[in-house]
Structure 1
Amino acid sequence: MNSPILIDLNDGSVEIESFRISSRLKLNELTAAFTVQPEQQVIVLGKSVLCQFASVQLVDNGLPVLLELRFERGALVSCFFTFPNAELSDEHHACSQWLTSKLGQTSGLACFPWGSAGVAMDRSGNSHVFLHNKNNCWAH
């Protein structure tokens, strides 16, 4: 999809074209553009958690973006944004700049009534932008 990604500061929802990704979204409501993975166990804060992921390749104002959604027990808990064309040495900076352009957030963890947002590094050392909503009991 080639469309600007909009993040609503009031509720943390993500809008792509006319499709809205909110904390109420269910897997069966995703468009055909998403690839849905089978359920899998992941480690979250040292605990094994059954999750399901869905992903879609996007282009946000000319910037390639991979959006991954994480569901736990059928509820959307997190959105992750990565930037496939970013150089590894510049990945964290690219994530921070993108998040700032969307939320006005410049660094660190931003907390909102609907959840939290920030830039983090995964176990492989790759940076990503995260949006955790109130369904994410690990982040709140």
Structure 2
Amino acid sequence: MTTPDANDPAFSDKLSHLGTCRKPALTPLHRLAGVVVAATVLAFSGPVVAQTDMERQAQCELSAIRDTRSPLAVQYIRSACNWLVVNGDSLLNASSKGYYVCLVRQLSGAQSNEAAAAIMSACRTSNPL
């Protein structure tokens, strides 16, 4: 039978782990992989923005169309939501924004095309372009 030896790690009660905790050195291949990942993220950031716009439009439509029975009102709500998502933050279109906000808010719940037409006319009158 062998006796414990302080120099033999198999018998040591305190194993040293100094070498196992260090991070491996970055090689040129690792750096290239990092650049490729960063470029891929940037290249695909466009569709992410488009998806966000689609989600914003869907949320606008869902909030306004819920109890609306007029096909004309639904059509104009969708159009107004689209306009607000695409142009709503633009300072160039600030004068038109009130009209589209009015359409979304006031057409919600319209029960007939006649009511929708009257609401659209009132939004146009109160928010001239």
Q: Shorter-normalised TM-score: what interval?
A: under 0.3
Q: Greater share of helix residues, 1 or 2?
A: 2
Which of the two has higher C-alpha Rg? 2
TM-score for the superposition, normalised by structure 2 = 0.23
